[in-house]
Structure 1
Amino acid sequence: MTPEQPPILAIESSCDDTAAAVWAGGRLASSVVASQRVHEGWGGVVPELASRAHQRLIVPTVKTALEEAGVPLAEVGAIAVTYGPGLAGSLLVGLSTAKGLALGLGIPLIGVNHLEGHVYSVFVDEPHPAFPFLCLTVSGGHTLLTLVREGFVHEELGRTRDDAAGEAFDKVARLLGLGYPGGPHIDRLAASGDATQFALPSPRITNHKSRSVADFSFSGLKTAVRYTVADAPEAAGMAPDAWLEANRADVAAAFQHAASEALVGALSDAVRQTGVQDVAIVGGVSANSGLRAAAQEASGAEGWTLHMPAMRFSVDNAAMIAVTAAFKWAAGETDDLSLGAEPSLKL
């Protein structure tokens, strides 16, 4: 990755955000995200609605990114695009657009793994980690702890066995009668709650049969919240709605605390096991204030260096795709037009 690279236009459409960004002169020149509000009434992303929205939004989003960067399309040197994991229809919209641009301009196409994009989101801004570094990826679809080496080599140290952290936040928010997406709602509510009022199990599972630092099971934590909300009102002699209104913030705080402590505890153990002192937390859940506070406290107490992308680069965006593509292009990695969507791709 060098400042001498021609501009890279990046496209991200793996789920329900249509995004485009331009990387030029060794820095981020623009980043545009068009969010889809059509899913809010459904309590989750509807794949068919997402792909239709991408079709409407992708051309104006790309045009806006180029205009904000001050880069004419004719000056773009490569097109980067997410090819997986994600929703099949959504990925195909981005891939089709990227391939058409690359073919029409006669320039390289660079496919980017969405999860690698999150990992490399810590390189959008300074300061950034040195290789190797530990990376905890926490999002709506993924919870993964890896040791990241140069050359896009990732050693898995742990992952969720069922629900991803972000998925658990959404499901718990639904149990508490909150809106979608659940993470921001729980984060705001937990700020006024007392996490000690309810004892919830840790989602962390120590795997004694493998080299994993730890695996996670967020479905168990979610189920514990469900039983608490279902059983506690009767024990307290209260109507369910009245009990939930009185205790909603405390339940949210207890859930957020249990999730954050398990994730940060795994990071601390990974630092001790590997000796690697640079640590990154990326993905949409990295925007959670409880997780950020727990990680900052642990890094200060234990002496490791914490890197987290700015809030706008924690959620899905094309800036992370652009910077990852810059690394790949510098290493001579490009793709041809046979690049296909891989909805279930893993890191």
Structure 2
Amino acid sequence: MLVLGFESSCDETGVAMVQTREHGVPTLLSHALFSQIEMHQAYGGVVPELASRDHIRRVLPLTQEVLEASGRSLAEVDVVAYTRGPGLAGALLVGAGVACAMAAALGKPVLGVHHLEGHLLSPFLSEDPPEFPFVALLVSGGHTQLMRVDGVGRYEMLGESIDDAAGEAFDKSAKLMGLAYPGGPLLARMAEEGDPKAYALPRPLLHSGNLDFSFAGLKTAVLVQSQKIMAAADVAQFEDLPHGVRCDLAASTQAAIVEVLVKKSLTALKQTGMSRLVVAGGVGANRNLRAQLNAECAKRKVRVHYPEMHLCTDNGAMIAMAAAMRLQSGLQAATTHYAFDVKPRWPLDMI
């Protein structure tokens, strides 16, 4: 079975082709991705209307690229999948509209996919796919969650962010430091040159006794610390500080976020008795997070699985894979009912 998947939940347009196998994990045949980062940088963040219009421009050329790379024709596609939510309503409607129109024209079934389930199952696209059951640390954009995963669609929420998520803490802290959008990856690169112990920043909810996350207070602490540093140096802009000082604050910020993620993940593993951890979502590409998780899990004989680096951000491959795995498991059937809606807000435990 060939599954063609579309992702358009925010500022990346992704298309991919996945083939199911009689036994084992489906195979990724090809995928194509276009990021709108350069377009949104001028505004310091994603502009929903511009994002939607750009998805319209990109989706069909990317589809053609995927078909050519896979060596398959549109007529051979068995199921068309798309991101139904969560995400920006207008952006989601582009992918949903294209997918449902294409499926209707082909007379093939269609399937709406949960964006976060796509991230959650994206490590199955790697060369070292996990096996069920496992604990999942999902760190994607505005979501930070720990889940027990016993199979496709069998998810138990263990803890989640109650305000700012880890990705937001990276991006908002970076913006306070005057870094361009998206600031999170830039902050991480600066952190590689800094001292993670230079500034004592809080580790919110680290000793809360539960597995929930809160990073809003850390963002405020970064703001206060940056103001103190600028006052001491008698400069008006954070960018005017010496490079080493800025790198130290970046490293201290990253250290606070990573420590909370690592320790909460280890607690989740201990509470569930699991010996396998899956990390997914954009923050899962953070090298410092990977290094610390690898080191701590190795001590505990825990296997850690990640998506490939280029599949950590939003992409069509994870949507096609999630659809294929749901169909393969018999958990959900695709439909030839082509009327569609989208769900900008859609909790993962409600699918």
TM-score computed with the length of structure 2 as normaliser: 0.93
Q: Residue in 2 aligned with 1:3?
A: none
1:220 partner amino acid: G
Contact preservation (8 Å) 1:183, 1:288: no
Deviation of residue 330 (structure 1)? 1.4
Q: Comparing 332-341 with 263-272, which one deviates more in the overlay?
A: 332-341
How far 1:207 sits from its partner (Å)?
A: 4.8
The residue number in structure 2 matching 1:197 is: 198
Counterpart in 1 of 2:19? Answer: 24
Which AA in structure 2 matches 1:34?
F
* Equivalent in the alignment of 1:287: 285
Question: 2: distance between equivalents of 1:294 and 1:278?
Answer: 15
> Match for residue 173 of structure 2?
172
Percent identity of paired positions between Structure 1 and Structure 2: 44
Alignment partner of 1:254: what SS? Answer: helix
With normalisation by structure 1, the TM-score equals 0.94
Q: 1:178-223: per-residue Cα shift (whole Å, max 9, x none)?
A: 1111121011100000011100000335555xxxx41111111111
1:217 to 214, 217, 228: 214
Query: What's the counterpart of residue 231 of structure 1?
Result: 228
5 Å-filtered alignment, 1:1-347, equals 6-24=1-19, 26-36=26-36, 37-208=38-209, 213-234=210-231, 236-241=232-237, 242-243=240-241, 245-332=243-330, 333=332, 334-335=334-335, 336-347=337-348
- Give the superposition deviation at 1:166: 1.1
Distance 1:237 1:324, change over 3 A: closer
| Residue 48 of structure 1: how far off its partner (Å) | 0.5
Question: Which letter does structure 1 place at the counterpart of 2:235?
Answer: A
Which digits, 9 at most, give the CA deviation of each residue in 1:208-243, with x for residues without a partner? Answer: 5xxxx4111111111100000112333x35334444
2:192 alignment partner AA = A
Q: Contact (CA 8 Å) 2:17, 2:317: kept in 1 or not?
A: yes
State the AA in 1 paired with 2:234: M
Which ranges in structure 1 are unaligned for 5 or more consecutive residues? 1-5
Secondary structure at the counterpart of residue 281 of structure 1:
strand
Counterpart residue identity of residue 257, structure 1: A
Q: Distance in 2 between matches of 1:96 and 1:329?
A: 21
Q: Report if aligned partners of 2:83, 2:112 keep a CA contact under 8 Å in 1.
A: yes
Residue identity matched to 1:221: L
* Residue correspondences, number: 337
2:193/2:244 contact within 8 Å kept: no
Displaced runs of 4+ in structure 1, greater than 6 A?
Answer: none
State how far apart, in whole Å, the 1-side matches of 2:260 and 2:344 are.
28
User: Structure 2 regions of 5+ residues with no counterpart?
Assistant: 21-25
SS at match of 1:196: coil
CA distance in 2, matches of 1:206, 1:30: 44
- Counterpart CA distance in 1 for 2:295 and 2:74 is 45
Asked whether the equivalents of residues 194 and 244 of structure 2 are also in contact (C-alpha less than 8 Å), the reply is no
Partner secondary structure for residue 197 of structure 2 = helix
Q: CA shift at 1:163, angstroms?
A: 1.0
The separation in 1 between residues aligned to 2:305 and 2:241, in whole angstroms, is 40
Q: Distance in 1 between matches of 2:188 and 2:338?
A: 42
d(CA) in 2 for partners of 1:75, 1:128: 27
- SS of corresponding position for 1:280: strand
What secondary structure, in the 3-state scheme, does the structure 1 residue paired with 2:221 have? helix
Q: Which whole-Å deviations, capped at 9, do the CAs of 1:56-89 have from their partners, x for residues lacking one?
A: 1111111111111111000001001110000000
Task: Kindly state the Cα deviation for residue 24 of structure 1 after the two structures are TM-superposed.
Answer: 2.1
Contact residue 128 and residue 307 of structure 1 kept, 8 A: yes
